Amino acid sequence: MNEPAKVHAIRLKPGEDLKASLNNFVQQQNIKAGWIITCVGSLTNYSLRFANQQNPASDSGHFEIVSLVGTLSTNGSHLHVSISDSTGKTIGGHLLDGCKIYTTAEIVIGESNSLMFTREKDGSTPWEELQIRKKE
């Protein structure tokens, strides 16, 4: 399927919150079905939820963003981030509020012109999961 898409590029600056800034951008641009194409940058604080854990993990220091992936929508987003410390130790998990930019975050976002993402309980899990629909 050859689907028309749009590409957005943004740069976050020191002190901005990674998740909140992405959510604000998605709302401002009215993105209904988006995804992270690439992201590089750094953080001074992180807050992540690791697999099958209730409570967030957080720390401060200097961390490289080595990966940011996920879906974006005004109807709800789902993002995972991997970061590394000064020794190269890498951790990753569900992106939470509180991940503060150190020097920059250079982010490229793709947006579908024909799809809409929502997050709804569908009975397959206890959580609201991605639902994909054609735009009307």
Give pLDDT tens digits along the chain (136 positions).
Answer: 566 799 999 999 999 999 999 999 999 999 999 999 999 999 999 999 999 999 999 999 999 999 999 999 999 999 999 999 999 999 999 999 999 999 999 999 999 999 999 999 999 999 899 999 998 7
| Per-residue pLDDT tens over the stretch 104-136 | 999 999 999 999 999 999 999 998 999 999 987
Question: Rounded CA gap, 16 and 79, in Å?
Answer: 17
Per-domain residue ranges for the chain? 5-120
Q: 5-120, which class in CATH?
A: alpha beta
The amino acid at residue 103 is T
